[in-house]
Every structure is written in structure tokens, then in C-alpha cells.
Structure 1
Amino acid sequence: MIVRIVAIASALLVAASIGMAGQEGDEKAPATFKVKFDSSAGPFVVEVHRAWAPNAADHFYTLVKNGFFDEARFFRVVPNFMVQFGINADPAVQSKWHNSIKDDPVKESNKRGYVTFAQTSAPNSRSTQIFVNFKDNSFLDSQRFAPFGQVTSGMDNVDKITAEYGEKPNQGSIQSQGNTYLKAQFPQLDYVKKATIEK
């Protein structure tokens, strides 16, 4: 079991896109804001607290305002661990957002329903991919995974996201082919229909 957890954590470390350009261009997010995800598994709402992780909050806010997550597939689902998404449906769009943001200190623990950016093993490597913790994963706290928000409603729908394909979708293929690859090879993947900042 310990080996399995280590393997999963290692995979999560290499799950983000690479790039090293800080967070230039990101809009400063409000101190607290909510994002509604209308997904094929049902709606859920993420409440973001900028004080938890300012760089992450600003980047997430900017991504949502630009419609980045719309039509994005939940391409990695590990039961009793987490669900991951955040590769754009269109490779041309994804390529424009490959730059990374600076790390934030970890102020909150990776509890059930908490939302965090994926990253590589290198510092300052968070980009566009995020994950929602299915359970308390405090072992991630010491690995620089800094939560920036939490699911405040609809966590039951997050739990329903299909785990049929597990970790089978190839992230390189998603990056280069987008939803064309996923629809052909993994047609039952759940996905974000639209993500919007609630007024």
C-alpha cells in the first residue's frame, strides 16, 4: 500500500505542464470568490481563498475568466485519492498557457474536497492542471502541493466522475491532440461543460 501511495504521488509530481515564466499577466483575484463547474457528472462549486495561495488563486481566476477549463476532460481519476483535469480541449489554446507560476507556501492541508494545482518535481512548475482530493491526503502537504480552494457544494457529483479509465489517458497525447484523442480513445470520460465565476 505504501509503495502504491508513493507511486501515485510521484505520478502527480510529473503531471503538470512544464514552463518557467512566473505568473506575469495573471489578474489579481478577489480575496474570496466562487467558481461553478457545470460538468457532465453534475455541478460543483469551488470557493477560492486568495490568502491560502495567492499565486494559485490569481492564476486559477485568470484561467476561468478566459474559459480555459470549458470542455476539459477529467483525464485522471484515482479512486480514494484524487481527480485531475486542466488540459485544454484545443492543443493550440493549451500551448498558449504552458508557462508556470511561482510556488506558494503550503498554508492549508490537502483535505477531502480541497483543490490544488498539479506540478512537477521542480520548483515553480505549476501550470494549468488541477486536482480535487477525494480524501484527506496530508502526505502531499510536505511536497509543496498548496491548496487554494475547496469544493463547497456538489462534492457528491465530484465523487461520481467516472474512474473507468483510471490513469490510462496519455498526457502527452492530450497535450498534442486535445479532445480529438480523448473522444476517440476514452469516450466515456466526464468533462467540464463550462466553468464560470459566480457573481
Structure 2
Amino acid sequence: MFAVKCAAIIAALHAIQASAFSTHQSPLTHHRRVPLYANNQDLETANNDGPSSSSRRHAALQISAAAAAVVAGSYPSDAHAEDADTGKLIEFTVNNLDGDEGSTGTFVIKTHPEWAPIGVERFEALAESSFFDGCRVFRVLPGFVSQFGINGNPEVQAKWRSQNLRDDPVRVTNKRGTVVFATAGPNTRTTQLFINLSDRNSFLDKQGFSPLGEVVSGMDVVERFYSGYGEGAPAGKGPNQGLIQAKGNEYLESAYPKLSYFSKVSVK
């Protein structure tokens, strides 16, 4: 059995190296696939390092993840394959659907501790402390992801910036409706999350993005988060995450008033 696992590791390393070091084939070089970093500084650094250094870093991360998965004997599975009732239901009430202040709706996330226990513990703690109340969905890319999780009060947000989490292994695949922490690299999860809007996001599995829950009702509401501002700065004209961190909702309400936001988040 050990010999079989070793052979599997070697095959995985060869496949990853061939993919990661081929010209412009790494997901990190693809505009639609880069922007799950927790802040714009990290995103800008990844884009400006050049294909050689970013490919080497990404290949190293992929090799580590692949080796760990083979040794553990576990690979990402369908997000609905394991259906334990150990998680919680968290209801989000949303304002500004489609950018219209008078349009509201709700969606519910079910957490799955068996998928990502470390991430679930943080997510539930944030929800129970009303951290998400008033948070804007500051980055919505249709067919890809909706991202949120920077508190509207800079003083509150500052308390969390250094409270990084260890990564959870990726046990289920990134598919439409799954909820995942954004990162700035290994072991950097804090408060930002995204909801996958597509079943084509499985490439995120190899990048270490571990789903912690899923939208079990109201996905039609999630699809109505306002997306008109596009990608965030500096890659696009949308909100600058650095300014959100520094100025909070004061900045967003004046410069990006149509953003959808959570008026109330409750744990059931």
C-alpha cells in the first residue's frame, strides 16, 4: 500500500510540474481565477511577480497539497456527498438586491464542520457576534464568485486582521453554492469569504480553497447581489479593499452606494 501511495505521489508531482511550468497555464495567471486573495496588495503582488516566480510558488503549493492528499488517501468529493447534521443554519437578510435599496431577500448557509472544522468555527463565531451585519458584498463577478467579509467599522476589522487561521484540507470540491474563506496564501484566512457562483470552480480545489458550508436556500437571492461595479481596484473599477479596511462603510456608501449588503445575520 505504501508503494502504491508513493507511486501516486510521483505521478501527481509530474503532472503538476508539467502543468504549472507550462507557459501561462497556471490558474494564477488567469484574470478570472486570481482574485480570491484577501486584499489587493497580495493580488497586485501576484500579478506583478511575472510568470516564472508565480508559477514556481504555485507549483510548490500544488505539490504540497497533492502529496498530502495522496498520503491521507482523501480527495475533494462532491459537496453533497457527506451530509452530516452537525452544522448550523445561518440566515442572511440582504438589502440592495440588483442595486435597488427597496429590494430585499434572504438566503441560508448550512455549515459543515466535517468539511472544514477550523473554518466553520471562525465563520460561526463571526456570525454569532454580528460581525457580518452591515457588511457589503464588495466584489461580485457573475459566473465566478461573490465576496464579502470586511466589517463596516475599521476598528472592528482591525481586531481580526492578524488572527489568521490554519488551513483546512480540501475535502469537498468548489461548486456552485459552496462557501469558502478567501486567502492571501497558506494559513492566512481571517474574515473574508466568497460564495461560488459556478460549478466550473473546481480548479480552486488544488489552490487550497476549502469549502466550509453551502447555500441551502435562497441561491436565487445570491445571484442578485449587485455586480455593476465589476472587479475591484487595481484590476478594475470596483471597491479598493485597502480603502474598505481603512474607511469601512463610509467609503463604500459614498463611492459604491448600490452594493448589496447584509442588514441582519442570525444563527438558527
TM-score > 0.5, shorter chain as reference: yes
Q: Which residue of 1 aligns with 2:250?
A: 180
- Kindly provide the CA deviation profile for residues 142-165 of structure 1, in whole angstroms up to 9, marking residues without a partner as x: 001000000000000000111011
Percent sequence identity is: 44
Q: Residue by residue, what CA displacement relative to the aligned partner does 1:101-128 show, whole Å, maximum 9, x if unpaired? A: 110000011110000000012x100110
Partner amino acid, structure 1, of 2:228? E
How far residue 10 of structure 1 moved from its aligned partner, in angstroms, is 2.0
Letter in 2 for 1:86: G
Is 2:63 the counterpart of 1:39? no
CA distance in 2: counterparts of 1:186 and 1:177, whole angstroms: 13
Where 1:160 maps in the other structure, the secondary structure is coil
Is the 8 Å Cα contact of residues 17 and 127 (structure 1) preserved in structure 2?
no
- Per the normalisation by structure 1, the TM-score is 0.88
User: Which protein has the bigger strand share?
Assistant: 1
Partner of 1:93: 156
Q: What RMSD over aligned residues (CA atoms) do the two structures have, in Å?
A: 2.0
* Amino acid across the alignment from 1:39: V
Q: Counterparts of 1:150 and 1:16 in 2: how far apart (Å)?
A: 26
Supply the distance in 1 between the matched residues of 2:187 and 2:40 (Cα, whole angstroms): 11
Q: Distance in 2 between matches of 1:16 and 1:144?
A: 19
Higher-Rg member (1/2): 2
Match among 146, 153, 157 for residue 217 of structure 2: 153
Q: 1-side partners of 2:38 and 2:136: how far apart?
A: 18
Whether contact under 8 Å (1:16, 1:128) holds in the other structure is: no
Counterpart CA distance in 1 for 2:41 and 2:113 is 23
Q: 1:86 to 1:128 in 2, by over 3 A?
A: same
Normalising by structure 2, what TM-score? 0.66
Kept after mapping to 2: 8 A contact 1:81/1:134: yes
| Structure 1 residue 194, shift from structure 2 partner | 1.1
Residues 181, 76 of structure 1: alpha-carbon distance in 2 compared, 3 angstrom cutoff: same
Could you list the per-position Cα deviations for residues 6-36 of structure 1 after superposition, in whole angstroms to 9, with x for gaps in the alignment? Answer: 2232221344899xxxxxxxxxxx9311100
1:72-126: CA deviation from partner (whole Å, max 9, x where unpaired): 00000011101000000100000111111110000011110000000012x1001
Task: Provide the rounded CA distance (Å) in 1 between the counterparts of 2:126 and 2:167.
Answer: 17
Amino acid aligned to 2:260: D
Provide the secondary structure at the position in 1 that maps to 2:33: helix
**C-alpha spacing 1:102/1:16, structure 2 compared with 1 (3 Å):** farther
**What is the match of residue 24 of structure 1?**
none
Kindly indicate whether the alpha-carbon contact (under 8 Å) linking 1:87 and 1:175 is maintained by their aligned counterparts in 2.
yes
- Identify which range, 175-184 or 36-45, moves more after superposition: 36-45
Which residue among 120, 129, 135 is the counterpart of 1:72?
135
- Give unpaired runs (5+ residues) of structure 2: 1-24, 43-84, 98-104, 232-237
Letter of the structure 2 residue corresponding to residue 31 of structure 1: T
> Partner of 2:74 in structure 1?
none
Look up the SS of the partner of 1:157 in the other structure.
Answer: helix
Q: Is the 8 A contact 1:16 1:120 kept in 2?
A: no
SS at match of 1:189: coil
Q: 1:55 is matched with which residue?
A: 118
- The 1:176–1:153 alpha-carbon spacing in structure 2 relative to 1, beyond 3 Å, is same
* Structure 1: unaligned runs, 5 residues or longer: 19-29
2:187 is aligned to 124
Question: Aligned letter for 1:110?
Answer: N
Aligned length: 185
Query: In the alignment, is the contact (CA less than 8 A) between 1:169 and 1:182 conserved in 2?
Result: yes
Return closer, same or farther for 1:196/1:39 CA change in 2, 3 Å cut-off: same
